[in-house]
Amino acid sequence: MASYVCWKCRKKFDSAEIATGIRCPYCGNKILFKETPPVLKKISTD
C-alpha cells in the first residue's frame, strides 16, 4: 500500500483510507504527496 501526506494538514494516511476521489480523509484537500522512505544513493564523481 502507498502512504500519502496531505499538503494542508500534514497528516499521514495510506491508500485504503482514501474513500472517493483523491482527497485527504481529514481535511478534504486535493493536494497529496506520496511518502517515500529516505534513501541514500552513492554517486561517483569519476
Contact residues for 25 (Cβ-Cβ < 8 A; gap 6+): 13, 17, 18, 19
Task: Report residue 16: phi and psi, to 5°.
Answer: -70, -25
Q: What is the pLDDT of residue 12?
A: 92
Q: What is the tens place of the pLDDT at every residue in 8-33?
A: 999 998 888 776 678 888 998 999 88
pTM value is 0.66
